[in-house]
Amino acid sequence: MKIDIIGSKFTRKLTEFKNFRFEVNNIVEEQSILSLLSDPYEVTMKDINTTDLNDITIAYRDLNKLLYPNLASSKSEIIFVELLSELNNIVEHEHSFYNSSSFELLYDIPSVKTLSTIEKFRAIQSYLDAFVRLLKKYDKVILIKILPKEKEALDFVEGLYSLLEREIDHKLIFTVDNSVFGENFEAPLEVYEKVNQDLKKFSSDNYYTQLLFDEYLLDDNLSVYINYVEEREYVYELYKEGKPYLKSEPTTSRFYNYKLTEPGQYRIRIHVTDESVNPRFSQTYEYTPREYAKTNLTHFDFIELPPKENMWMLNVILHKYNFTGLIGNPYKFPHGCFGHRVFLPEEVHNDYYLKQEELYTYVLQAVYDMNEKEFSTFIENNDEMREKKPLIYEFLIYLRNKTELG
């Protein structure tokens, strides 16, 4: 079975194992989606200042954009997509995108702009329709998900997979355990062996009578995704401590998610309603809810930025509690806000951020809970509020006086 690959060094090495079952037709290695779909910066191999044949080949193909036409005209049935190469440094030159490593090898380096992570994400969104059109010409798209451990890189790569998953119906999803990966995503040989063994199931003779799925626990969401393209009807049962706990109605959806609220050991049992395939359990997952403070603020990692006139509220909360970052428009706050980085909502993938409309309730509680020294410091740091928000200022003073008297 012929396949095409868009991937990284990991997928390249994967194909070199004897148990790799597929015949590779085209492979795009170490290139971003942005680079793949951009206009060429035409060079000859003599323009590239290195003697390393592999570096010359990658840079030459990257700059001249030689690989997209191969994919566009390919007769392969399946394409593997693995997105670690999106972590490469990307530069923009005359509205086209390239690996920065490609331009660095040129004798004459033109003026370029290096993209930040959020700029890469936004740029890929603008190319998404074209990329999805390319993928939809294949019978199956296998998304091989290797997720980075570092927070920003993890959010970025997860966000890209999420974009693709929403747009592609004929996809199969395979998540690779990253727990044993080292620096630069180096993995033991056993990882490649296992991935190859699992991928074989997608092309095995009994593919249609197996129950294959991807699964993961992320925060408090236990999810499964069925790796079978044709329509079938499934029932998803949540087990807690080894006993049936919740059960879905029959559904043709290949994705199902349970939101966990109580501590315990959970797993999901999936079966097909016509009993043509044997039922199967997911792994067992230990879930421990986050500890809640009396104001319930400690389970929020992020806060949504309020309107400018209510920024004093944000100062109250940040004075009292620790947060990972803020949700808003990072272009307006390139250097952060109140010492915190600003993220787009799609970057954090966290439904538990504190919404701006909820701030007021928590602010009153936070002010109420402040001791005298904390309140004095807060007032000193928000002297502008006394002039621009006198009614609010007077109300907070009243609240504090009531607290001290009570």
> Does some domain include residue 163?
yes
- The tally of domains found in the chain comes to 3
Q: Containing domain of residue 68, as a range?
A: 2-204
The pLDDT tens digits of the residues spanning 263-281 come to 899 999 999 999 889 999 9
Cα separation of 302 and 153, whole Å? Answer: 17
Mean pLDDT computed over 253-259: 93
Q: What percent of the chain has pLDDT over 90?
A: 48
Q: Do 57 and 128 lie in a common domain?
A: yes
Q: Do 50 and 195 lie in a common domain?
A: yes
Mean pLDDT computed over 316-327: 80
Q: How confident is the model at residue 302 (pLDDT cuts 50, 70, 90)?
A: confident
Greater confidence (20 vs 398) lies with: 20
> Does some domain include residue 7?
yes
**In the predicted structure, residue 294 carries a pLDDT above the cut 50:** no
> Does some domain include residue 274?
yes
Q: Judge contact between 223 and 195, C-beta under 8 A.
A: no
> Does some domain include residue 187?
yes
**In the predicted structure, residue 56 carries a pLDDT above the cut 80:** yes
Torsion of CA 287, 355, 156, 257, to 10 degrees: 40
Structure tokens at 321: 């509690």
Greater confidence (311 vs 259) lies with: 259
The confidence score (pLDDT) of residue 291 equals 45
**Residue where a domain terminates, one of 289, 317, 333:** 289
**What letter would DSSP give residue 220?**
T
Give the helix ranges, DSSP H, for 15-116.
33-37, 53-64, 68-72, 100-104
Q: How confident is the model at residue 18 (pLDDT cuts 50, 70, 90)?
A: confident
Q: Is 257 helix (H, G, I), strand (E, B) or coil?
A: strand
Q: Is 252 helix (H, G, I), strand (E, B) or coil?
A: coil
Q: Do 244 and 372 lie in a common domain?
A: no
> Does some domain include residue 250?
yes
> Does some domain include residue 264?
yes
- The continuous run of DSSP H or E covering 151 comes out as helix 151-167
Q: Do 84 and 141 lie in a common domain?
A: yes
Cα separation of 99 and 32, whole Å? Answer: 7
The confidence score (pLDDT) of residue 295 equals 45
Q: Do 280 and 305 lie in a common domain?
A: no
> Does some domain include residue 248?
yes
Q: What is the CATH number of the domain that holds 251?
A: 2.60.40
Q: How confident is the model at residue 385 (pLDDT cuts 50, 70, 90)?
A: low
Indicate the angle between helix axes 117-136 and 151-167, nearest 10 degrees: 30
> Does some domain include residue 37?
yes
Q: How confident is the model at residue 308 (pLDDT cuts 50, 70, 90)?
A: confident
**Residue where a domain terminates, one of 272, 289, 306:** 289
Q: What is the CATH number of the domain that holds 195?
A: 3.40.50
The confidence score (pLDDT) of residue 357 equals 79
Mean pLDDT computed over 42-48: 91
Q: How confident is the model at residue 404 (pLDDT cuts 50, 70, 90)?
A: low
Q: Do 319 and 390 lie in a common domain?
A: yes
Q: Which residue has 């490469």 as its token pair?
A: 88
The pLDDT tens digits of the residues spanning 84-118 come to 999 999 999 999 999 999 999 998 888 999 999 99
The rounded mean pLDDT for the chain is 86
Greater confidence (4 vs 366) lies with: 4
Q: Do 194 and 49 lie in a common domain?
A: yes
Q: How confident is the model at residue 290 (pLDDT cuts 50, 70, 90)?
A: low
Count how many Cα atoms sit within 13 Å of the Cα of residue 254 in the half-sphere of its side chain.
20
Q: Is 390 helix (H, G, I), strand (E, B) or coil?
A: helix
End-to-end Cα distance, the chain: 77
Greater confidence (230 vs 392) lies with: 230
Backbone angles phi, psi at 126, to 5 degrees: -70, -20
Q: Judge contact between 28 and 11, C-beta under 8 A.
A: no
CA atoms 88, 90, 96, 102: torsion sign: negative
The confidence score (pLDDT) of residue 34 equals 94
Q: Do 170 and 191 lie in a common domain?
A: yes
Q: Do 274 and 139 lie in a common domain?
A: no
The pLDDT tens digits of the residues spanning 162-220 come to 899 989 999 999 999 888 887 778 888 999 999 999 898 888 888 888 899 999 888 78
Q: Judge contact between 353 and 324, C-beta under 8 A.
A: no
Q: How confident is the model at residue 405 (pLDDT cuts 50, 70, 90)?
A: very low
Instruction: Give me the residues paired with residue 257 across strands.
Output: 223
**Residue where a domain terminates, one of 289, 323, 348:** 289
Q: Do 266 and 320 lie in a common domain?
A: no
Q: Do 98 and 178 lie in a common domain?
A: yes
Q: Do 43 and 78 lie in a common domain?
A: yes
Cα separation of 186 and 192, whole Å? Answer: 11
